[in-house]
C-alpha cells in the first residue's frame, strides 16, 4: 500500500471539519429521543470491523479503551452541553467551551494515534479508537437521554 505523506492528516482534518459543520447545523434543530438514540445505535454497527482478525485487540485493551472514553473523555462533553426547553421544544445549548473540548479531544486522539501506531497495527489502532469513541458517545448520549426525560417530565 502506497502512503502519501500528509494524506492521513489532511483526511483527518477534513473529516473533523465536516463533523464540526454537522454538529453546528444539528444544534439548530429540536432534540428528540430519536436524535439522541440513533447515533450510538448506528455507530454500534462499526463493531462489525472486529469480524476481520486484523482489527482484533485483547479484551482488556478493549475494556480499557471503552472505560477511558466513557469515564474520562465523555465528561467534558457532558459538562459543556445542556438541553433547554424553548417553548414546547427541547433544544441543545452548548457552551462555547464545547467546541474547544471537541478540538482538544481531536488533538489528543491525533497525538495518541502517533504513539499507538508504533505499538499496534493500523487496524488495531483504529479498533481501539473506535471503542474509545463509542464509550464516549454512549455515555454522553445516555446523559442527554436522562436530561431529556427530566425536562419533558416523562
Distance between start and end Cα atoms, the chain: 53
How confident is the model over 84-139, as pLDDT tens digits?
Answer: 998 889 998 877 777 777 777 778 777 877 787 788 888 998 899 899 989 999 99
Q: Is 6 inside a domain boundary? A: no
Assess if residue 114 is contained within a domain: yes
Interatomic CA distance for residues 153 and 72, integer angstroms: 29
**Does 90 reside within a domain?**
yes
Q: Is 1 exposed, middle or buried (0-12, 13-18, 19+ CB in 10 A)?
A: exposed
Q: What is the pLDDT of residues 48-95, one digit of tens each?
A: 999 999 999 999 999 999 999 999 989 988 988 889 998 889 998 877
Domain range spanning residue 77?
30-152
Count of domains forming the chain? 1
The set of cell numbers assigned to 117 is 501506531
* Model-wide pTM > 0.85: no
CB-count burial class (<10 Å; 0-12, 13-18, 19+) for 9: exposed
Amino acid at each position: 500500500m502506497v502512503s502519501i505523506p500528509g494524506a492521513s492528516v489532511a483526511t483527518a482534518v477534513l473529516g473533523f471539519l465536516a463533523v464540526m459543520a454537522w454538529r453546528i447545523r444539528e444544534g439548530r434543530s429540536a432534540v428528540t429521543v430519536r436524535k439522541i438514540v440513533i447515533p450510538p445505535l448506528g455507530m454500534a454497527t462499526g463493531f462489525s470491523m472486529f469480524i476481520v482478525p486484523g482489527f482484533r485487540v485483547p479484551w482488556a485493551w478493549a475494556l480499557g479503551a471503552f472505560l477511558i472514553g466513557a469515564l474520562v473523555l465523555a465528561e467534558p462533553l457532558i459538562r459543556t452541553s445542556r438541553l433547554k426547553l424553548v417553548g414546547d421544544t427541547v433544544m441543545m445549548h452548548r457552551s462555547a467551551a464545547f467546541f474547544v473540548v471537541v478540538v482538544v479531544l481531536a488533538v489528543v486522539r491525533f497525538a495518541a494515534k502517533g504513539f499507538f501506531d508504533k505499538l499496534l497495527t493500523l487496524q488495531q489502532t483504529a479498533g481501539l479508537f473506535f471503542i474509545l469513541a463509542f464509550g464516549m458517545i454512549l455515555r454522553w448520549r445516555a446523559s442527554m437521554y436522562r436530561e431529556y426525560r427530566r425536562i419533558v417530565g416523562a
